[in-house]
Amino acid sequence: MVSTLGGFVLFLALGVTIYAAAASVIGARPGREDWLASSRNAILVHFCLVTLAIFLLEYALITSDFSLRYVANTSTRGSLTRYKIAGLWGSLEGSILLWEWLQALMGALVVARYHDKHRQLMPYVQAVLQGISVFFLLLMAFAVNPFARIFPIPPDGRGLNPLLEVTDMLVHPLLLYSGYVGFSVPFAFGLAALITGRPSEEWLTITRRWTVVAWMFLTCGIFYGGWWSYRTLGWGGYWAWDPVENASFMPWLTGTAFIHSVMIQQRKRMLRIWNLVLVTLTFSLVIFGTFLTRSGILGSVHAFADGPVGVMFLAFLSVVLLFSFGLVAYRADQLKGHGELDSIVSRESAFLLNNVILVGICFTVFLGTIFPLLSEAVRGTKISVGTPYFNRVAGPLGMALLLLMGVGPLIAWGRASLNNLRRNFLKPSLLAVAGTIALYFLGVHEEAVLAAFLFAFFVIATVSFEFVVSTRTRARSTGERLLEAFFALLLRSRRRYGGLIVHLGVVIAIIGIAVSSIYKVEREATLKPGETLSIGHYTVRFDSLAAGERPTHILVWANLMGLKDGKPIGELTPGSRFYPNQQTPFASVDARYHWKEDLYVILSAFERDGSSATIKVMINPMISWIWIGGGVIVLGVLVAVLPERRLALLSVRARAQEA
């Protein structure tokens, strides 16, 4: 029943979407507003239909309708309802449906917001967005139907991989997909600008907020993924340069480059082609990443795209690239910029360099990810490059970016005078050098960490000086109180100060990454009850082994006492979860999280009679700075994009508090 209905709804949606795209194009002609209105209605109907499909699949998941193959794969009777709901994005078919729903939502939001504006651009924006939806609907109609039946109907489903039965599963994929899908809006506007022959700055101005918000979701998704991995997977890390992770990182890099280069184009009318290329690349990398991780091409180095999904993604990718770059070539004469780079020592040149480095990192990550394929094609040997490659390549480039983060926002446009440089950078540089020397005498001797801190201090100092000096100047000239002046400043140039806050967040995260990766320590030992394992200031004493019944699994855990400098700091109970129908256990990590350092313990093996347990203990210094940095980044983006009213309210409140 659900299967037939669901399949029908998706086919109907496909038809409506194709119509919407065609009607938009017809409605582009002057005087054909009726067609445009009709296409807008079709877009809204499309959104309603896909929403209905989502409800149908969720209904099947929640009611454990195992006649659907997808439900049998990702759901089980015993699961909590929230994990049954999360089954929607627990496997390929459902996640494609979710993606298409978000895509349909974007289409509807764009129509709702701009239906009476941008008469020339909108028809093609709609056509492009609906075109993307057509691809996902085709994918579901012919390759990955979430409503496919299974026969015989199994008595119970297999359920989600237990690693996914955690609250994070309810958040992380949604964030990531929202980010991915969000970038389709600037992409659609960019293409529409090319098609209509208006490739000036208009499309950038319209899509600025969309881009920044999409970037924020993608950033959140990546950070959240790392946090999740760290707390639950039990290997003590958060990022492994795995193809799946790289697939999300590459569009983030080009998206970040895009956000910056947009500012140069708006200010100097330069880099028109570059921006179109960047937005196309960002969107293409999202598709490419999905192809890479869904086709099995890297998992098994031999088989090229088993199953039709990989081929279809590859075909779509080719269409996107050919169409966009074909249009760029076709409009090349209109794309000539007017501006010129006046001097190497200028803000536009700093931004340009930032772009080159971001795209450079993206390219090297791309190379490293597909290296096994390349080496097999070129030399016939399977060679892969692991974490050392990525760290070695991305490390220095990341440092260069960090330095630019301090320079870019404060250096003058056009040609920076010696006076401008001295005023903005002399004191921060001196402070940064002094701070780094201080660290050296405090015992920090690793070059990479010292370099990271040198640049980080520099960025923090430049940003703080900017905030302090501007606030003070404003307070003096207007007679406002300091806090009042501060909020007024934020309000007046939210874009600028939001951006600076984002930079601070990135710096905080980079400090966390550098320190935790260089100074982490770990020890592993098999302990009998009463024995201890010492690491740094900490000692862990193994008291006993216990097991208990949980709703969905059996939990075996070790009762440990954590001691710091001999003083008890609390119990730690790392464990192993044993699920029915899963032959291997799943880790249950325990840790004491602290802003200075995390004490992280894993039960890696044990004797069933409780006579001994193998415990792995790690100290991860300052790793929580990464997550704090992520939070500050989100805060910065919110300052930059929130409507003025909200911030005005905040500043009124601050004033009230001061009074």
Partner 1 sequence: MSRPKMKYLVGGAIVIAALAGLVYSGVKESAVYFYTPSELNQQKGTVAGKSLRIGGMVMDGTVKWDPQNLLLTFQLTDGQGAVLVRHKGAAPDLFKEGAGAVVEGTWSPDGYFRSSTIMAKHSEEYKPPVHPETLESKKEMFKSILKK
- Is residue 360 a contact point for partner 1 (CB under 8 A)? yes
- State the nearest-atom distance from the C-beta of 214 to partner 1, in Å: 27
Query: Nearest-CA neighbor of 425 among 462, 467, 473?
Result: 462
Q: Which one of residues 81, 477, 584, 657 is an interface residue with partner 1 (CB under 8 A)?
A: 584
- Is residue 114 a contact point for partner 1 (CB under 8 A)? no
How many alpha carbons fall within 13 Å on the CB side of residue 480?
A: 19
Q: How far apart are CA 260 and CA 270, in angstroms?
A: 13
- State the nearest-atom distance from the C-beta of 359 to partner 1, in Å: 10
Query: Nearest-CA neighbor of 210 among 283, 316, 274?
Result: 283
In the bound state with partner 1, the residue whose beta carbon lies nearer, of 206 and 407, is 407
CB atoms within 10 A of CB 630: 22
- State the nearest-atom distance from the C-beta of 68 to partner 1, in Å: 12
Residues 144-163, interacting with partner 1 (CB under 8 A): 154, 157-158, 161
- State the nearest-atom distance from the C-beta of 554 to partner 1, in Å: 5
Stretch that binds partner 1, among 375-383, 417-425, 488-496, 627-635 (CB under 8 A): 375-383
Stretch that binds partner 1, among 169-177, 210-218, 435-443, 544-552 (CB under 8 A): 544-552
- State the nearest-atom distance from the C-beta of 393 to partner 1, in Å: 4
- Is residue 581 a contact point for partner 1 (CB under 8 A)? yes
Stretch that binds partner 1, among 52-60, 196-204, 269-277, 521-529 (CB under 8 A): 521-529
- State the nearest-atom distance from the C-beta of 264 to partner 1, in Å: 14
CB atoms within 10 A of CB 651: 18
- Is residue 553 a contact point for partner 1 (CB under 8 A)? yes
- State the nearest-atom distance from the C-beta of 586 to partner 1, in Å: 6
- State the nearest-atom distance from the C-beta of 221 to partner 1, in Å: 20
- Is residue 239 a contact point for partner 1 (CB under 8 A)? no
Query: Nearest-CA neighbor of 74 among 62, 88, 63, 55?
Result: 88
How many alpha carbons fall within 13 Å on the CB side of residue 133?
A: 36
Residues 6+ apart with CB under 8 A from 297: 291, 303, 304, 305, 310, 373
Query: Nearest-CA neighbor of 102 among 212, 20, 191, 176?
Result: 176
For residue 188, the SS3 value is helix
Residue 242: what are its φ and ψ, rounded to 5°? -75, 150
Q: How far apart are CA 55 and CA 3, in angstroms?
A: 12
Stretch that binds partner 1, among 123-131, 190-198, 323-331, 599-607 (CB under 8 A): 599-607
- Is residue 87 a contact point for partner 1 (CB under 8 A)? no
Stretch that binds partner 1, among 131-139, 260-268, 361-369, 508-516 (CB under 8 A): 361-369
73, 156 in Cβ contact below 8 A?
no
Query: Would you give the binding string for partner 1 spanning residues 385-424, x where CB under 8 A is met?
Result: xxxxxx-xx--xx---------------------------
- Is residue 609 a contact point for partner 1 (CB under 8 A)? yes
199, 120 in Cβ contact below 8 A?
no
Stretch that binds partner 1, among 105-113, 486-494, 612-620, 624-632 (CB under 8 A): 612-620
- Is residue 341 a contact point for partner 1 (CB under 8 A)? yes
Stretch that binds partner 1, among 102-110, 221-229, 601-609, 636-644 (CB under 8 A): 601-609
Please report, as a single letter, which amino acid is at residue 270.
Answer: M
CB atoms within 10 A of CB 270: 20
Q: What does the buried/exposed string (b/e) look like for 597-619 if buried means 16 or more CB atoms within 10 Å of the residue's CB?
A: bbbbbbbeebeeeeebbbbbbbb
In the bound state with partner 1, the residue whose beta carbon lies nearer, of 448 and 654, is 448
* Number of residues in contact with partner 1 under rule CB under 8 A: 66
- State the nearest-atom distance from the C-beta of 509 to partner 1, in Å: 22
Question: Cis omega before residue 308 (within 30°)?
Answer: no
User: Rounded to 5 degrees, what angle do the CA atoms 99, 104, 109 make?
Assistant: 125
In the bound state with partner 1, the residue whose beta carbon lies nearer, of 164 and 509, is 164
Residue 91: what are its φ and ψ, rounded to 5°? -150, 175
In the bound state with partner 1, the residue whose beta carbon lies nearer, of 388 and 479, is 388
Stretch that binds partner 1, among 14-22, 69-77, 102-110, 487-495 (CB under 8 A): 69-77
- Is residue 332 a contact point for partner 1 (CB under 8 A)? no
- Is residue 586 a contact point for partner 1 (CB under 8 A)? yes
CB atoms within 10 A of CB 242: 13
In the bound state with partner 1, the residue whose beta carbon lies nearer, of 380 and 643, is 380
- State the nearest-atom distance from the C-beta of 553 to partner 1, in Å: 7
| Region of residue 594 (left: phi > 0; alpha: psi -120 to 50; beta: else) | beta
Find the length of the chain: 659
Q: Which one of residues 616, 623, 626, 651 is an interface residue with partner 1 (CB under 8 A)?
A: 616
483, 654 in Cβ contact below 8 A?
yes
144, 92 in Cβ contact below 8 A?
yes
Q: Which one of residues 556, 589, 637, 640 is an interface residue with partner 1 (CB under 8 A)?
A: 556
**DSSP designation for 500:** H
- Is residue 378 a contact point for partner 1 (CB under 8 A)? no
Residues binding partner 1 (CB under 8 A): 69, 72-73, 91, 154, 157-158, 161, 234-235, 301, 340-341, 344, 356, 360, 363-364, 367-368, 371-372, 381-390, 392-393, 396-397, 524-526, 545-549, 553-554, 556, 578-587, 604-605, 607-610, 612, 614, 616
